[in-house]
Amino acid sequence: MSHTRFEPARARLQRSELAVPGSQPGMFCKALESEADYIFLDLEDAVAPADKVQARLNVIAALHEHDWRGRGKTIAVRINGIDTHYMYRDVVDVVEQAGDRLDVVLIPKVGVPADVYLVDALLTQIEEAKGIDQRIGIDVLIETALGMANRVKASSGLPAAKFWLAGGAFAMGIGIWSMHFVGMLATRLAIPIAFAGAVIQVVGEIWHAYSHLQLSAHVFPLTYALSFVGMLIVLGALVFGRPARGDERLLTHS
């Protein structure tokens, strides 16, 4: 039987967010006293692998020791990605030991709907087993090309589709261009080099990302489309991001 539920979302204030590494318990009180509406205690990127287990213990203790809700905070925990061996213990230990004091579980690097379903099913079973009356919310982070392509595909035919396409293309295009621009600035060669036509390159990368998101969402099966799109993006980066030599009017170093 599916655990899919369609319950009304509980309204919560979320004008600002503050991330706090779970491995830095000295920062918890500062977060509690901050003006941020939404605090997430981070077990993922902000925590080194050697500190994961201790960070989890720190977060459980922080949920019990501090009255986050009493200070008007939405308190969340960002778990590790589902493709890591830390994730299941993050969910089980934190929710079983402090789930009644937790508002949201934040899932990073969501790629497909099944990623969310996995966490939802696990949360639901723990909530029922531990008698947690207030359902814990789920927030997702779309951080990968797979996640963005699937989100664009899911919004196909809806008014929101154009915004997902435009936002995803802008983020990916700027990311690709800035990676090459920073690389050029960091390069030291025996000959002068310059990054020519920056505006054209930025527009070109955004256009490539836009076209490729559309292609991956609507034309081919996703796995093949992403592989093809990846090759096209690399080709676009080579065409629009290549350096120009000897242009003294641009930022140049040797």
Q: What tens digit of pLDDT does each residue of 133-160 get?
A: 888 999 998 877 777 777 777 766 677 7
Residue 85 located in a structural domain: yes
219 and 169, same domain (yes or no): yes
Could you list the residue range(s) of the whole structural domain that residue 210 is in? 147-253
pTM: 0.69
134 and 61, same domain (yes or no): yes
127 and 69, same domain (yes or no): yes
Residue 75 located in a structural domain: yes
Q: What tens digit of pLDDT does each residue of 159-179 get?
A: 777 777 777 778 878 877 777
Based on C-alpha coordinates, what's the Rg of the chain?
Answer: 22
111 and 169, same domain (yes or no): no
Tell me: pLDDT of 181 over 80: no
What is the model's pLDDT at position 228? 62
Q: What is the mean pLDDT of the chain?
A: 80
If you search the block for the tokens 């797979």, which residue do you land on?
146
What is the model's pLDDT at position 134? 87
Given CA atoms 16, 35, 19, 97 in this order, what sign does their dihedral have? negative
More confident residue, 196 or 66: 66
As separate numbers, helices (DSSP H) first and strands (DSSP E) second, the chain gives: 8, 7
Per-position DSSP letters for 49-102, written without gaps between them: GGGHHHHHHHHHHHHHHS-TGGGT-EEEEEPPPTTSTTHHHHHHHHHHHHGGG-
Q: Could you give the number of structural domains in the chain?
A: 2
- 32: domain CATH number is 3.20.20.60
102 and 169, same domain (yes or no): no
Cα distance between residue 114 and residue 82, in whole Å: 10
Residues 6+ apart with CB under 8 A from 37: 12, 13, 14, 15, 16, 17, 72, 73, 74
Q: What tens digit of pLDDT does each residue of 196-246 get?
A: 666 777 777 777 777 777 766 665 555 555 556 566 656 655 555 444 444
27 and 56, same domain (yes or no): yes
What is the model's pLDDT at position 223? 53
What is the model's pLDDT at position 250? 44
More confident residue, 192 or 242: 192
